[in-house]
Structure 1
């Protein structure tokens, strides 16, 4: 690979990684096992290596493919299946002694174009759905512990969503999908899954009635998944009671997609509250005998969907973008019975920590010049008030113009100093700047950065 292609292929990201956890820190999967539940995470299959893969395998005993088993991914063309991503997830889980939550078989979103925009008779559509469910469940028979058979079937008022399947087939599509899944793998637990059903209210009441109807029809439904996409300060007070009333119907319950987002920047106070709320959600599951476990929807902020969908919000997961445990991680551990310190202490008095994560990306390159972007993230829990970032060029590069920072150079050493509007970086927050540079012969990425004199540990990604 040439220097140019190596730099542009994946934007040559250099990410500063704090240690995933200290040696004395808890292992969530081990703690969960002592409580008789699982603690899982959604994953991106292409990232299951390096630090991301190591934490996934070490900390969690269940994984959910975030996108790799959805209809549009596995059957992009009718009758033509692509299993590569899903296979990677299942193989990884088996290599690490983990369960797999299959997600998801029938959903109104992320359908392939041929299905979403196709015109089919009711009979043909029902056959298409049943064939898809049968094919996917059969492929992983005996290897998937739980399937989200039908995902998000309800409107916010608890009525049935007017999806393609409901519009043509009515509510019976749900029963058909469950029966096809049961026939394909009698051992897998079969779930219905939705969001904004976490506390009591119109939507959860609609789900409750739907589950009652399905059970009355003899539909093989084993569980109800409560996604748990929550907002800081808005965790439902009725969460435990709501889980319990569903469990009393004779079905399992699980928190399937937990994250707790906040308005950025993150602060020590917000992170402490987030810790309390992750702990509370975990405790709610533990208090309900039929609650099987909790899955966080991505364990690291660098793999979270929140910033892309809710601009200005984020920091929603237990690890920061530099793979360092946040207070929320320790809150989960405490709920699962951990009594150590290592960051778990009083939520109102967190142990000060410092750390940084740096992303360096070459955005474009030409014969003698290039444009680069740098993002500096505060991975500690103490604010940074004014910053100086330093690095040494390994190949004789030089900075010719910069924006959002003042950049100077002495020999091979470059120094970037904040400007007024990005001087403060809250815990979990970041600041960015860019520059144009000159190069000749090679444009090798810097191998080390320091922030205010402290090294940012680096790893290629």
Structure 2
């Protein structure tokens, strides 16, 4: 297995914009908090492992401050949507749309960033033609093979790693009822990894899922499932913990999820991190210093736990979005990411740096 090297930095990037305190009534919706030191080194330069985010193609093309933060802070990027099946093969079998994915990979290479591919097989983001496809089991397997082989081969040597299968288990640890399970059977998981490995033997291949920090049952099921597949020679190299979590979840549960996943001996990736403040999705929620301090602590704990892993096992941290405007949490006030509504670093950003500083 070839592991993508930890990036070493040549330049130290500093923010060129001033860092200010949150203030009540401003467009951040934040409380009065002390300013963050504007001379903090970037995440990518401070981190002992790759630090990244899921990116929006639209914002990459159209939002300057977004790009400034991405280029200054990150050395690994994941496409939020551009590499999902509904985007790559939206209209028909064997008819692909590469524009956004090509742009994404070109952007990464131009800025010396690692690309993590997300995701090859999932029950969501399926084009309508897949849901209406009538075929035998053998034809469904060929569909899966053809799609994975085509996508992975196109980016062979350019995408370092892939989430090959995403969310195949439900919270009680049993297989999720998906079209792939219905048409092929549980072997679709094994086949997907074998097809991806055949297409790019050097790519690091992940099983990706959520809930490890809040369900010990699911955590154990994910780890046991993957270990059993690996024992049978299935080329799974790592486990992704999405870690869409919240301040009500204990820091110990988050740390346990990471350390117990590492006990599999596989590579560990915190792959879709955000820490919600408004866990109950209250429309009247107002951000407050207590919640902000807890969020900072949770981010610090997660970053510190990843620091404890052997370098060969740490694929790093990826947040699901750059700043709060990018969050997938809609419909009620929330501020789950490291940068605020103006893409300025928040207290939780400082928490991540505190985890890194403790290593010195």
Q: Which whole-Å deviations, capped at 9, do the CAs of 1:402-449 have from their partners, x for residues lacking one?
A: xxxxxxxxxxxxxxxxxxxxxxxxxxxxxxxxxxxxxxxxxxxxxxxx
The 8 Å contact of residues 300 and 317 in structure 1, kept in 2 or not, is answered as: yes
Q: When the two structures are superposed, what TM-score results if normalisation uses the length of structure 1?
A: 0.66
Larger strand proportion, structure 1 or 2? 1
Equivalent residue for 2:54?
42
Equivalent residue for 1:248?
263
Q: Which whole-Å deviations, capped at 9, do the CAs of 1:230-288 have from their partners, x for residues lacking one?
A: 01121452333333333232211110000011123222222121111111111111122
Indicate whether 1:196 and 2:211 are aligned: yes
The 8 Å contact of residues 261 and 313 in structure 1, kept in 2 or not, is answered as: no
* Deviation of 1:98 (Å): 0.7
* Deviation of 1:195 (Å): 0.6
Q: Which whole-Å deviations, capped at 9, do the CAs of 1:129-187 have from their partners, x for residues lacking one?
A: 11110000001000111100000000110100011111222221011110111111111
Alignment of 1:362-377 (within 5 A): none
Indicate whether 1:315 and 2:329 are aligned: no
* Deviation of 1:296 (Å): 0.6
The 8 Å contact of residues 240 and 287 in structure 1, kept in 2 or not, is answered as: no
**Distance between the aligned counterparts of 2:132 and 2:250, measured in 1?**
37
**Distance between the aligned counterparts of 1:291 and 1:315, measured in 2?**
27
Indicate the SS of the match to 1:324.
Answer: coil
Count of residue pairs the alignment pairs up: 317
Indicate the SS of the match to 2:124.
Answer: coil
Indicate whether 1:334 and 2:334 are aligned: no
The 8 Å contact of residues 246 and 253 in structure 1, kept in 2 or not, is answered as: yes
* Cα 1:50/1:188, change in 2 over 3 Å: same
**Distance between the aligned counterparts of 1:282 and 1:208, measured in 2?**
21
* Deviation of 1:313 (Å): 4.1
Alignment of 1:352-363 (within 5 A): none
* Cα 1:323/1:85, change in 2 over 3 Å: same
* Cα 1:176/1:97, change in 2 over 3 Å: same
Indicate the SS of the match to 1:294.
Answer: strand
Q: When the two structures are superposed, what TM-score results if normalisation uses the length of structure 2?
A: 0.84
Indicate whether 1:139 and 2:154 are aligned: yes
**Distance between the aligned counterparts of 1:303 and 1:57, measured in 2?**
16
CA RMSD of aligned residues (A): 1.9
* Deviation of 1:291 (Å): 2.5
**Distance between the aligned counterparts of 2:351 and 2:68, measured in 1?**
21
Indicate whether 1:292 and 2:304 are aligned: no
One of 106, 112, 130 as aligned partner of 2:121: 106
**Distance between the aligned counterparts of 2:195 and 2:173, measured in 1?**
25
Alignment of 1:35-434 (within 5 A): 35=48, 37-48=49-60, 49-76=63-90, 77-198=92-213, 201-235=216-250, 237-263=252-278, 264-289=285-310, 290-307=313-330, 311-337=331-357
* Deviation of 1:25 (Å): 2.2
Indicate the SS of the match to 1:154.
Answer: coil
**Distance between the aligned counterparts of 2:254 and 2:40, measured in 1?**
28
> Which deviates more from structure 2 when the two are superposed, residues 47-56 or residues 20-29?
20-29
Indicate the SS of the match to 1:100.
Answer: strand
